[in-house]
Structure 1
Amino acid sequence: MSADGVITFAGIGDEAGESLSEQIEAHQRLGWSTIELRNVDGEPLADLSDAAFDRLAERIERAGLRVVCVDSRIANWARPITGDFELDLTELGKLEKRCAALGTRYVRVMSYPNDGLHDVEWGARVRVRMRMLANRAEAAGLVLLHENCAGWAGTDARLARRLIEDTDSPALRLLFDIGNGIAYGYEAYDMLVALLPWVEHVHVKDARSENGEAVYTLPGEGDCRVSDCLRLLLDSGYTGTLTMEPHLKVRPHEGRADAGPDGVTEFVEYGRAMEKLVAGLREVAC
């Protein structure tokens, strides 16, 4: 580890609650100044009306929070490669202005689930689309962060590297989610070793497999080797953000979006567990 590197903590806001008030409260109770946005009041950031977005941006600023990343639906689990590409172009266009207003340049993307195509054609179409998206993002000063989740390059380090290399743009880098391997059937630590040089953002979750299903846990209590992944990142000089994504209650891909009345409290408890896990590995700036 380098002696002078620091990292920041954040959370995906809607994992604490649907409302912006709950999301802000959870981060303030943790004493964190950084937040990641996905859905607010049940709406993806790109779908908010202009007036609703303006209110959100004002409240975020007034709360003293900095938005580190926006989690888009671009190329995600609900948008197969055979779907309408215009949906992604339109969403990115909307987020260009909104990210600028929020002061963030990072947009989370995936790489399109297949929909009956041969693997070769699937990959070729994905790479064409990603080059177009990255070119547009680069022109807007944004960076697309591809997550190791749903899509052509989501579960295979070799394909993720190919996607980065073929796109050949500073506007495409990697978001590594430590907890996705259990749900998608791969060893996350091994993938992280292979992809470390391209990782610019990290999600922290943990899980164990029970009867073939992912059961999400506090960080360090599952089988995702969270501590090993964090140590590898920090030893390599990672100085980005660690964003927690508990998935204890909120799992959009399963249609679960309500954290319930205890969402804020559980979110804060998860955050404290993550702080404790990281303590001693690296100086943390919150």
Structure 2
Amino acid sequence: MQDDPRPRLAGIGDEAAADLTGQLAAVRRLGWRSIELRTVDGVPLADLDEPGRRRTARQLRAAELDVVCLASRIGNWARPITAPFEDDLRELDVLAEQCRELGSRYVRIMSYPNDGLPEPEWGARARERVAKLAERAAEHDVVLLHENCAGWAATDADRALRLLAEVPSLRLLFDTGNGVEHGYHAPDLLRPLIGHVAHVHVKDATGSPGAVMYVPPGEGGSRVADCLRLLLNSGYEGAYSLEPHLVARPHDGVRADETAADRFVDAGRALERLLGRLRAPYTAAAAPGRA
């Protein structure tokens, strides 16, 4: 366990508001010191013009919030294995520069959904692309985080471990709520991969693939508590980044509305309560006078 008794909590800002001012305000309402960035005013970070990038950096410095990760579109549901690879290389170059400006080292990627290729060819192409991206990232001194969402290595631990073996600089971003949508039990996927996890997204859901409803952390069927307990037992010291999907769901084209900030804050409080309950045995054992 880390010396600071408080877990590092963050949130993906565009889940609370489209504009950066609203995103920062929602995180501050929670009293958190970190944010994860994906879009500003509905524009993906890599597509911001120069004035937009400067304005974003200036607002973040003024808010004194750490940026834990930049969430890219590289290899995601909108960019299958047959999509132009140049788009991903270009996005990585832009985000790496933003990482330098914002003091962050992590860029979220996925591993390319299939587009009609035989599985062996799909896997070979996906691993080759991720390896090239990781080489490029190392040149920029940033670290790629592969999420268990879309792509060749997204939902299968053996594939993820093979990808990690072939791309040693890669780390994992584990999302507690993706299992319901993609048809697997999150703790079962997390268990063999836990030593490679460097960043965590927290969401919860009910339903089944194609019929998912998102709910505050701890209220659904994603077994969020089991995932968090595994992480705590493993000594995980990274951030827990809230991505509740209660209002904003970028993969469905749904942006934050006027209710999003309040629901984001409510989900954040639910995450705090859940982590507090799970951490209680650790904090009690560490209290003065206890063995």
CA deviation profile, 1:170-227 (whole Å, cap 9, x unmatched): 2x10000000000001111100001001000000000011685111111111011111
Aligned counterparts of 1:197 and 1:238: Cα–Cα separation in 2: 8
Structure 1 residue aligned with 2:191: 193
Aligned counterparts of 2:223 and 2:114: Cα–Cα separation in 1: 29
How high is the sequence identity, in percent, across the aligned residues? Answer: 55
Question: Which structure 1 segments of 5+ residues have no match?
Answer: none
Structure 2 residue aligned with 1:219: 217
Q: Which segments of structure 1 move beyond 3 Å, counting only runs of 4 or more?
A: 1-6
Distance 1:134 1:209, change over 3 A: same
1:271 corresponds to which of 250, 263, 268: 268
How far apart are 1:280 and its partner, in Å? 3.6
Structure 1 residue aligned with 2:60: 60
Aligned counterparts of 1:265 and 1:213: Cα–Cα separation in 2: 24
- 1:1-286 pair list within 5 angstroms: 6-168=6-168, 170=169, 172-209=170-207, 212-257=210-255, 259-282=256-279
Instruction: Point out which structure has higher relative CO (alpha carbons under 8 A, 6+ apart).
Output: 1
CA deviation profile, 1:57-97 (whole Å, cap 9, x unmatched): 01111011110000000111100101100000000011111
Aligned counterparts of 1:200 and 1:7: Cα–Cα separation in 2: 14
Question: Which structure 2 segments of 5+ residues have no match?
Answer: 283-291
Q: CA RMSD in A?
A: 1.5
- Structure 1 contact 5–239 (Cα < 8 Å) conserved: no
Aligned counterparts of 2:209 and 2:12: Cα–Cα separation in 1: 28
- Structure 2 contact 246–264 (Cα < 8 Å) conserved: no
SS of aligned partner of 1:209 = strand
Aligned counterparts of 1:141 and 1:211: Cα–Cα separation in 2: 37
- Tell me the TM-score normalised to structure 1 length: 0.95
- Structure 2 contact 225–278 (Cα < 8 Å) conserved: no
CA deviation profile, 1:139-177 (whole Å, cap 9, x unmatched): 111000000000000111110111111123x2x100000
- Structure 2 contact 201–242 (Cα < 8 Å) conserved: yes
SS of aligned partner of 1:14 = helix
How far apart are 1:31 and its partner, in Å? 0.6
How far apart are 1:254 and its partner, in Å? 1.0
How far apart are 1:3 and its partner, in Å? 6.4
Aligned counterparts of 1:156 and 1:6: Cα–Cα separation in 2: 32
Q: Bigger CA drift: 244-253 or 11-20?
A: 244-253
